[in-house]
Amino acid sequence: MQTFTEVPELSLSDFTDGDAAARADFIAALYEGFRYFGFIILRDHGISKDLLDRAYIASADFFTRPMDEKMRYDSGLGGQRGYTKTGREQAVGGKVPDLKEFWHIGQEPAEGSDMRGVYQPNLWPDHPADFKETFLTLYKALEEAGQVMLEALAPSLEVDTEYFRAMTFEGNSILRLLHYPPVPEDADPDAVRAAAHEDINLITILVAASSSGLELLDRNGEWLPVEGSKNALIVDAGDMLARITNNHIPATTHRVVNPDGPNVSRYSMPFFLHPRPEAQLSCLPQFRNGSEMPDITADDFLQQRLEAIGLKK
Ligand SMILES: O=C(O)CCC(=O)C(=O)O
Ligand SMILES: [Fe+2]
């Protein structure tokens, strides 16, 4: 296994527009970065700066509204749609909730799709006016970026190019708009912006945050800051990918620490790429060695994990 001291940064255009050699290099670098860290940084991903800027403006516009307005969109659906206030979600086994509030946007299957009605409907705030259009566009762009990343990973995992695209087609993916407010003076001393956790899903595409704080736990047990260049995407593997590869691709533990500089808000936007609910998370035959986890559907696994993090009623 290739070893690294920093999270590698890759250019997606090598894969999407490069010649055969550039594509092969991208495929190899993605695999090596994912294998070692479960994380890579992605630039030249084709998602426009204008869309990312609009998304950050719309997100900050919503989160700075009065609490009673935000609470109108508290769906009570176990936090899977609309607004969730601070104090609700905590990492598996955590003692205190994270210092964050967030908004969840789910899949909107195409007209005529047999997935219509399967997912909870999205909620949309009245303000800002471009919220729905902006985040449906961003959802689709990040979903496509995630599917391309899995397509690029497929040859290294010895699965068909279309394997992950079929598994995630109209899947139960979530776009999460996160706001970490300035840390309150009376915050529990143990509380952090996001306590150490692993993501539940296949992979996460994270629009690099408005400020630093994200750290991953490396193979030596040390916390390593993850800093993408401006407008880069951070891509990490979740438990579902670890499960089907029998931890060959690790779901790396990560966290968001409280600021040590100015105590200001932090915004980020992770997109959690999920399979379709009925997809089987069986370990691929090429990774079986007797230590693999039992078969489970993506939806059963998700429900177990939502309960563990306090987002299921
Ligand atoms: O805010 C970040 O940079 C990371 C958030 C995260 O890890 C998560 O929501 O799962
Ligand atoms: Fe995460």
What number does the ligand 1 atom closest to the CA of 268 have? 1
pLDDT tier, 30 (very low <50, low <70, confident <90, very high otherwise): very high
- Any atom of ligand 1 within 6 Å of the Cβ of 236: no
In angstroms, the CA 222 to CA 205 distance is 23
Query: In the prediction, which pLDDT does 39 show?
Result: 97
**What ipTM was assigned to the predicted interfaces of this complex?**
0.99
Question: 51-308 sits in which CATH class?
Answer: mainly beta
| Cis amide prior to 128 (ω within 30 degrees) | yes
For ligand 1, atom 1, the nearest C-alpha belongs to 268
- 243/309: higher pLDDT: 243
* Cα 175 to averaged position of ligand 2 atoms, centre (Å): 12
Phi, psi (degrees; rounded to nearest 5) at 87: 90, 0
Q: Per-residue pLDDT for 283 more than 80?
A: yes
- Residue 105: enclosing H or E segment and its boundaries? strand 101-106
Q: Is the CB of 209 under 6 A from ligand 1?
A: yes
Distance 37 CA to ligand 2 centre (A): 14
**94-145 pLDDT, tens per residue?**
788 899 999 999 999 999 999 999 999 999 999 999 999 999 999 999 999 9
Q: Whose CA is nearest to atom 9 of ligand 1?
A: 270
Tell me if 252 CB under 6 Å of ligand 1.
Answer: no
Whether 268 is in the pocket of ligand 1, judged by its Cβ within 6 Å, is yes
Tokens of 250: 């690790």
Q: What is the CA radius of gyration of the chain?
A: 19
The Cα–Cα gap between 306 and 155 comes to 31
Q: What is the pLDDT of residues 179-226, one digit of tens each?
A: 999 999 999 999 999 999 999 999 999 997 778 899 999 999 999 999
Strand, helix or coil at 42? strand
Give me the pLDDT at residue 73, please.
96
How high is the pLDDT of residue 91?
Answer: 75
